């Protein structure tokens, strides 16, 4: 299992984008507010072509807050120089967006055959992510979307991330604190009844400790996180490539909520704590 990964600089946000169709603009995938999404006009195959500001290294592409569900498929191609087949430097092949429940977790008579982890998390947590084995240099990429789910008449994506993630040599400490925050207030009426006020999708907060940071890892975190600031959207995955509900639950688009600082605990070792809130 890989150590945690943090993608701080999102190359997609400064790229030039085109899409097969746009009932809502594809540029919405470059901004944070959840109501701003890209939406296609139908469920025909859609291609999103992305031209970066310049060639750069990429080890991750992620589609957040999407509606592809358990029947969607994505393909990601990377290019140098143009979108012709001869310019291709990497092709993910077609990948399902569904994470099927293994037989060990499937409940007879409760879960439908082919049930997925995708449907067990709140809708705003939908994520499709592709981790490359090694970073590659590219100045363009193409995302192809298909689906056999006819219950929804269009594709929708809230946010797209692309770039080079940071992963410390020594992983986070045990006992990371992950919580789902629900916008609910319990109120006692004069008659003694309890009423719950509020609603909406819950969001996550996370706090992790990095107790064994090398000098190079400390510098990478400093330059990555402080350079983009607390207002920047980050992609954080505590258990990348682990698969299943564990990876989905612990991967989120978020912002750092604490000031970056470190403690020089002993010779050639630093410690820091990072707090995140889902956007």
Q: Do both 262 and 126 map to the same domain?
A: no
Q: Which two tokens stand for residue 137?
A: 């240099």
Q: Are residues 192 and 133 in the same domain?
A: no
In a domain, 172, yes or no: no
CA nearest to 197, candidates 208, 212, 182, 214 = 182
Assign 246 to helix, strand or coil: helix
- Let me know whether 22 and 146 are in one domain: yes
Last residue in a domain, options 163, 193, 211: 163
Are residues 126 and 242 both part of a single domain?
A: no
Vertex 12: Cα angle to 143 and 276 (nearest 5): 110
Q: Is residue 16 part of a domain?
A: yes
Give a yes or no: residue 47 inside a domain. yes
Does residue 127 sit in the same domain as residue 103? yes
Distance between CA 146 and CA 40 in Å, rounded?
12
- Round to the nearest angstrom and report the end-to-end CA distance of the chain: 26
Distance from CA of residue 150 to its chain's centroid? 25
Whether residues 191 and 226 fall in one domain: yes
Domain finish residue from 120, 141, 163: 163
45 assigned to some structural domain: yes
Would residue 236 be called left, alpha or beta, if left means φ above 0 and alpha means ψ between -120 and 50 degrees?
Answer: beta
CATH number at residue 99: 2.60.120.260
Residue 248 pLDDT class (50, 70, 90 cuts)? confident
Instruction: Give the strand pairing for 184-188 and 194-198.
Output: antiparallel
Which helix (H) or strand (E) is 209 found in, with range? strand 203-213
Q: Are 10 and 233 in contact (CB under 8 A)?
A: yes
pLDDT at 122: 74
pLDDT in tens, 193-204: 999 998 878 999
Tell me: do 218 and 158 sit in the same domain: no
Q: Could you tell me if 130 and 9 lie in one domain?
A: yes
pLDDT value, residue 97: 86
Quick one: pLDDT at residue 101? 60
Residue 73: pLDDT over 90: yes
Please tell me whether residues 149 and 31 are part of one structural domain.
Answer: yes
| 12-70 confidence digits (pLDDT tens) | 999 999 999 999 999 999 999 999 999 999 999 999 999 999 999 999 999 999 998 87
Whole-angstrom distance, CA of residue 266 vs CA of residue 215: 12
Closest CA to 118 of 133, 129, 132: 129
The helix (run of H) or strand (run of E) holding residue 255 is strand 251-256
User: For residue 100, what pLDDT is reported?
Assistant: 61
Tokens of 97: 């967006």
What was the pLDDT predicted at 87?
97
> Could you tell me which of 48, 38, 44 has the C-alpha nearest to residue 15?
48
Residue 2, pLDDT score: 87
pLDDT at position 114 over 60: no
Number of domains present in the structure of the chain:
2
Task: Tell me whether residue 169 is in a domain.
Answer: no
151 with 16, same domain: the answer is: yes
Using CA atoms of 151, 152, 158, 163 in order, give the dihedral in degrees to the nearest 10: 70
In sequence order, the β-bridge partners of residue 131 are 60
Q: What is the pLDDT of residues 199-237, one digit of tens each?
A: 878 999 999 999 999 999 999 999 999 999 999 999 999
End residue of a domain, out of 137, 163, 189: 163
Q: Are residues 56 and 101 in the same domain?
A: yes
Q: Is 144 helix (H, G, I), strand (E, B) or coil?
A: strand
Neighbours of 216 (CB within 10 A): 10
Would you state the pLDDT for residue 40?
A: 98
Q: Which two tokens stand for residue 225?
A: 């996180």
**Residue 53, class by beta-carbon neighbours within 10 Å (0-12 exposed, 13-18 middle, 19+ buried)?**
exposed
**Per-residue confidence band for 126, with pLDDT thresholds at 50, 70 and 90:** confident
The answer to whether residue 12 is domain-embedded is: yes
Give a yes or no: residue 171 inside a domain: no
| CB within 8 Å of 20: residues ≥ 6 apart | 40, 44, 45, 46, 47, 48
In the block, residue with structure tokens 């358990």:
70
Please name which of 38, 53, 263, 268 lies closest in space to residue 159, comparing C-alpha atoms.
38
158 plus 24 within the same structural domain: yes
pLDDT digits 0-9 by tens, 159-188: 999 999 999 999 999 999 999 999 899 999
The CATH number of whichever domain residue 195 belongs to comes to 2.40.30
Please give the residue range of the domain that contains residue 225. 177-278
């Amino acid at each position: 299992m890989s150590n945690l990964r943090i993608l701080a600089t999102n190359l997609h946000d400064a790229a030039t984008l085109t899409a097969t169709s746009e009932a809502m603009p594809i540029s919405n995938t470059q901004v944070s507010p959840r109501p701003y999404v890209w939406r296609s006009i139908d469920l025909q195959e859609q291609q999103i072509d992305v031209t970066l500001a310049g060639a750069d290294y990429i080890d991750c592409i992620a589609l957040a807050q999407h509606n592809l569900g358990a029947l969607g498929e994505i393909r990601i191609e990377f290019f140098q120089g143009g979108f012709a087949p001869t310019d291709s430097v990497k092709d993910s092949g077609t990948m399902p967006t569904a994470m099927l429940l293994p037989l060990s977790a499937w409940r007879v008579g409760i879960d439908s055959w082919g049930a997925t982890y995708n449907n067990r998390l709140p809708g705003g947590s939908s994520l499709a992510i592709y981790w490359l084995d090694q970073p590659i240099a590219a100045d363009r990429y193409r995302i192809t979307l298909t689906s056999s789910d006819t219950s929804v008449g269009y594709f929708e994506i809230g946010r797209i991330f692309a770039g080079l993630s940071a992963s410390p040599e020594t992983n986070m400490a045990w006992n990371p604190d992950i919580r789902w925050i629900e916008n609910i207030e319990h109120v006692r009426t004069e008659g003694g009844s309890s009423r719950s006020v509020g609603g909406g999708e819950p969001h996550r907060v996370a706090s992790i400790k990095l107790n064994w940071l090398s000098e190079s890892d400390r510098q990478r975190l400093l330059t990555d996180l402080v350079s983009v600031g607390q207002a920047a959207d980050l992609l954080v995955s505590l258990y990348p490539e682990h698969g299943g509900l564990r990876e989905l639950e612990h991967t989120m688009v978020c912002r750092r909520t604490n000031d970056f600082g470190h403690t020089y605990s002993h010779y050639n070792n630093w410690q820091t704590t990072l707090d995140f809130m889902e956007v």
